[in-house]
Amino acid sequence: MIEIILGTILLIREIYQMTYLPSVHDNLYGGLVDFMKYKENTYSLIYLWSILLITGIFSMKNAKLNWILHQILIILISIITLVPMVFMIIQGQVIAVILGLFLIGLILLEIRLYQSDLREKLKIININKLTSIILGLFSALIYWIIEIKLG
């Protein structure tokens, strides 16, 4: 239920920003304001919040589907945050190292939960695990394609 509420709020916010923010191609500010958020920056976040909303909606249908969709969402968020963090660590930013260790801790926690009794109770088989990993990596790839091509 939290995924539905949070996904709806964040999706509405991004759609609102997409309709009111200027485009990179508008040339309203002559390129002087690089830190401003543009319409093109919202596309990848709209995709992410849509995945969150879909996870919330379909998680009420089936416990096994709920587990798979949460795995996909966790893989997506992990990859989205891990890639920029690697570049920040390469540049020597200290906060990235701290955030990287925190993210690695979350990933290790997820691996531990992945092997938990919940998997046995829901009768998650290897094909379900493989499906969630492939779909999670595929959704992360879609996110980065949107981010690079449209952002």
Check residues 52 and 95 and name the one with the higher pLDDT.
Answer: 52
Task: Quickly tell me which residue has 């191609």 as its tokens.
Answer: 25
More confident residue, 60 or 138: 138
Average pLDDT of the chain to the nearest whole number: 79
Backbone torsion region of residue 13, taken as left when φ is above 0, otherwise alpha when ψ lies between -120 and 50, otherwise beta: alpha
* pLDDT, average across residues 99-106: 77
- pLDDT (tens digit per residue) in 118-136: 666 777 777 888 888 899 8
- Helix-then-strand count for the chain, H and E: 6, 0
What is residue 150's predicted lDDT score, i.e. its pLDDT? 72
State the helix-helix crossing angle for 43-59 and 63-90, rounded to 10 degrees. 150
Name the residue with tokens 């879909």: 54
Handedness of CA 126, 131, 132, 138 (dihedral sign): positive
Report pLDDT digits (tens) over 6-49.
889 988 988 888 887 777 666 665 555 555 666 777 888 888 88
**pTM summary value:** 0.73
